[in-house]
Structure 1
């Protein structure tokens, strides 16, 4: 479907990719993985044509539609949620208007036997069949189903998009991409702004979709549930594992252990050769052997060990006095903005040392409750 051939990308003197080739096939569900800065987002931008490689080509068949969701994008603020989402069907809307024009022309004309009238009827029939194959007038139901699946309420549909946070507006863009039903989905961290229910809905959408998928995500559970192949960007090249993410982790560990053993053996070989050269460099009887060792060292291709991101976040809290046995006690706590009640009658006791998770849909008041507890 999409072929990546001998792709090289350079920023400065260090190549990000070097001579990378692979193919995205029909129905592939690919996880694109690698440490931060390896070039995962750059790869997606190159495939969808936003960024140009230093060398190499991307082969995309004519008529193939790609849906791309970046991590950050410019969002529209001049319309409502429903109207912005309808833009996904702008091509279908134009087709609908053209059909109405042809229908009106057929009703107005009386030269039913003329060649031009018969050509008009044929053109209308073909375009109407194509319109029906694309879903016809049923897109309103698709819009409602998709927006609700991504966490919107029906009462949100007619609200201006500027009233929503950046995360919610990203959901609108995701809805537009999914509704277009592209042949290939390129998704860069699609779960960043989704709650648990919306992530589960997106999982099912992808599983039931016929589109190929190239996914960048840090959500391991999501990757495991929707992908069946893993591409790892490491050391400037791509390793193709035709297995799901969990199995890839096992194979990568085995591969790295083999690389490490080979690297250690190579380092020993290099050290032995250098020691021999230093020991016998000035002995005429060993001159031939010394030159042979020098030539062997020159021919050695260094073995690379796959990069592993071992970065760990370290948090250090300032010392404080020991709290009481019950540091948080909520008794009948409530919060409202005007007539809109966020939550009410919250009764909660947190014991010292407990680890508590506040879960729920976006907008249910989790952060607001934390701020109330903090006195903010």
Structure 2
């Protein structure tokens, strides 16, 4: 199946630790608050979870992708927001597994993921993730099998702090005798690049038969996020080290070294791999120290059809494996609805010839996304928004629902992908004059019609008026000249007009609350997120620039770090 639409429940980064509220004069409270203030001043990033410690290496190597024999994956997308997909998978002819069939279903929104599957033998598996807050996620996995000893249940709790990640899980826990496997892990940033952690495993088979072991973890991330090294020391003399590096926008390389030094066994396994992303294909290649050379090509001929071919040669055993597969995806959605809302491909912008502001910017914006752009001042964040809105010259490709903006006409495109500047221009007249004018434009007709009053368009009942009023902007200010409005008043009314017109599917927000106080900012944030989730508005995604890490954590679902060399997506926001 064109690989099933990736369903990812993104957990935005967590808030900083709040001071301890304790009785006045408490020495412990004073000590804790001083420690919390010092810790916050360090501005250390969240290191990510232990589960994702080697995520980049696993995504580069073939280990989780290789197959042999024949394979067919058929999927159907019934909804995009929330995401709902069903799939059928067939495998046969494998040298290592019997022929099988599996039916699966996935449902997901920003806070909830439910996934289930059943195979031809009646084995059932299910997964449930619930995000209670952006930092707190409960996970449950279960498997029910007719084979003795193959059924299991795992309950897990993830919490991510400002500069640490905590996870506890229980596998097949028994409330009667407390048998089962219990795992706890903690990963703490100690510098902006280095994180250290520990994972404890307690296993109890029966009363009086238990074992406790500890593993030690380290993760080093380069300042530009272009390379990551990890190490893990496990019990009984097992050491694993990994290294991943992004050599270019399209090429990733990774290495994995596993050492085993036990009294009865000494062994080592080294693996080198690379992943190369082409425009319509992904190629992975891998070589390990056991003499195995393997490769996998996923070639997508259309958004709904992909062909896969994989192969492995074991030089030491003089053996080989070959796999061929197809992935077909159907949908109730139109081709335009299946495309990303907005897509940038290798976009760049130059100050002058030979002086780029940024280059090779590539990312997609989908339904429900709140994409937070972050980076140093001058990195080009505002310029990226202006290029998207076709207010700046650029090179590369920008697509809206799979088509270039010119195919819609630039004036119409700018109402569907709407840029809201940080500081509104000093326009002639009043905000009411501006609202009446833009509401009568051809490209805005059908959004919010103005009833005539005394022979003139009347905007007193316009949605923009209602939005601005809810944000503390008195209606009489609509008749005040733009030049007489404060920075915060101008910012609120321009954003209220953008929301009230309700023509935009994507709002490009350039620090939309920078001139507002904390309470007003919170009110604006809540309205924008509410409109994004509401089926009664056209709004489907936000691209949001903010220099406030706290605001980024509150609103963001995805985080992109902007630099002169492009953008890098981050799982968590280390602070803007």
Scaled by the length of structure 1, the TM-score of the pair is 0.49
User: Counting strand residues as a fraction of each chain, which structure ranks higher?
Assistant: 2
Structure ranking higher on relative contact order (CA contacts 8 Å, 6+ apart): 1
Scaled by the length of structure 2, the TM-score of the pair is 0.33
User: Counting helix residues as a fraction of each chain, which structure ranks higher?
Assistant: 1
Q: Which is higher, the Rg of structure 1 or of structure 2? A: 1
